[in-house]
Amino acid sequence: MMVYRILVVEDQREISDIVSKYLAKEGYSVCVANNGFEALDYFNKQDFHLVLLDIMLPGISGFDVLKEIRKISEIPVIMVTAKQEEIDRLKGFEIGADDYVIKPFSPRELMKRIQVFLKRIYHESDEIIYKCVDLSLYTKSMKLIKGEKEIPITSAEYKLLLVLFKNKGQVLTREQLINLAYGDAYEGYDRNIDSYIKRIRQKIENNPKSPEILTTKYGAGYVFGGEAL
């Protein structure tokens, strides 16, 4: 039986504890982030099926977290807010929120909303999709789609692409790419990563000799999906 993974982003411990207990009772796997920075760190390192995201967070707001998530993923996001102003809800929907719950809320009602979203989005499959420009990376079937066409990739290329999608806009060195994609099992030379990068560019770039998606930051490393942050 498939277990859905939920990221709960909430700085009020009493609320996150209650929500976590209800989610666990429903059979979900739960990860709790206490602030926006922690949420993005978890999101970049793990795969989730749904995010329950509070707006008022220490550090960066839920709106800012949602903006970063939407750069790489269409994962369903339910925003949680104590505010009832319509303008806040409209802002969230414009950024990419899927639904809102307003504090105080019924945990049982929240569980029903989550159940509906998961059933509608995943249809009993475990397919998490990462997006960048016209590229989509499917985490279960390990497919890469460019536009509407599937691009054949190897398992090694998939592992590298998954790291790149999750770290969009970040400069990653060869060593970081090796550690994140292959870990201790990697037995090649650092420079072998350059060969992987070259092959991936040939598959995703309109002009591999002048890449626009997977670029080189000279003296630093590689950047995927845009300018370095």
Three-class SS of 21-38: HHHHHCCCEEEEECCHHH
The closest of 84, 86, 114 to 99, measured between CA atoms, is 114
Reduce the DSSP state of residue 215 to 3 states and report it.
Answer: strand
Q: Give the Cα-Cα-Cα angle 175, 181, 183 (nearest 5 degrees).
A: 70
The span from the CA of 178 to the CA of 187, in Å, is 10
The span from the CA of 84 to the CA of 158, in Å, is 43
Reduce the DSSP state of residue 41 to 3 states and report it.
Answer: helix
Task: DSSP letter for 39, please.
Answer: H
* Backbone dihedral angles phi then psi of residue 16, each to the nearest 5 degrees: -65, -35
* Tokens describing residue 124: 């009993």
Q: Regarding beta strands 29-33 and 5-9, do their DSSP bridges make them parallel or antiparallel, or are they unpaired? A: parallel
The closest of 119, 153, 122 to 136, measured between CA atoms, is 153
Per-10-residue mean pLDDT, the chain, length 229:
87 95 95 95 90 93 93 88 72 87 91 88 72 88 91 92 89 88 70 87 93 91 74
Alpha carbon 135 to chain centroid, angstroms = 14
The closest of 141, 188, 144 to 164, measured between CA atoms, is 144
Residue 229: predicted pLDDT: 44
The span from the CA of 166 to the CA of 45, in Å, is 7
114's enclosing H/E stretch is helix 107-122
CB 181, CB 162: distance < 8 Å: yes
* Tokens describing residue 19: 């929500």
Whether the bond into 104 is cis, omega within 30 of 0: yes
pTM recorded for the entire structure = 0.67
160's enclosing H/E stretch is helix 155-166
Residue 46: predicted pLDDT: 87
